[in-house]
Amino acid sequence: MKYLIAGLGNIGAEYELTRHNIGFLVLDQLADEYKTNFTTGRLAAKAEFRYKGKSIHLIKPTTFMNLSGKAVAYWLQELKIPKENLLVIVDDLALPFGSLRLRTQGSAAGHNGLKNIELVLDGQDYSRLRFGIGSEFGKGQQVDYVLSNFSKEQFDELPPIMKKANEMVLSFCTIGAAKTMSQFNS
C-alpha cells in the first residue's frame, strides 16, 4: 500500500523557517527520523521510506504555495496512489499555535495552497493535517504574518509538536484517517 504525504510551503532560503512552511518542516523532521533524503523530482522535492509494510512518499512541492495542486496531482498519478491515501500538511491561521487537526475533507478556509489542490483535484475530498500557527497579527497583516519566522518561543516549542504531527502521519498510513482523528484530534 502506498501513501503520498504532501507538506506545503514555499521554496527558497527566505521562506525556510516561516509559518507558511510548516508542511516542509514537518516532512524534513520525518525524513530525518527515517534516514531518507529529499531529491529533486518533477515539480517537487521527493523522499520515500517504508513503515510497517507501507510505502510512504513525501513531497515538498517546488511550484510555490499557490500552485501546489499541480505537484500533488502529478505525484498521485505518477505513483498510482488513490486520493484517499493522500495527506496534505498545511499551516492554519484559525487554529491556536501548536494545535493539530486531521480532516478527511473541508474547505480551503482561504488557504491558497489548499484552494489550488481543490481546483486541480476537482473537490475537497482529500485528507489534510492542519497545523495551527495562531493569528497574532493586526488587520491587513495576514500575509506578513504567515511569511514571517516563528517567534523564538514558538520555535523552541516546535520539535515535540512536529513529532506529534509525524505520529499522526504514520497513524494515517497504518490505521486510517477515522481512527487517527479519534485518537489525536482533541
Comparing C-alpha atoms, which of 66, 86, 60 is closest to residue 8?
60
**Considering 5, 8, 18, 20, which one is annotated as catalytic?**
20
Q: Going by DSSP bridges, is the β-strand pair 44-51/54-61 parallel, antiparallel, or unpaired?
A: antiparallel
Is 20 an active-site residue? Answer: yes
> By the 8 A CB rule, do 14 and 69 touch?
no
Question: How many CB atoms within 10 Å of residue 62?
Answer: 19
Where helices occur in 59-138 by DSSP H, the ranges are 68-79, 112-121
Q: Going by DSSP bridges, is the β-strand pair 127-132/100-103 parallel, antiparallel, or unpaired?
A: antiparallel
Catalytically active residues, by annotation:
20
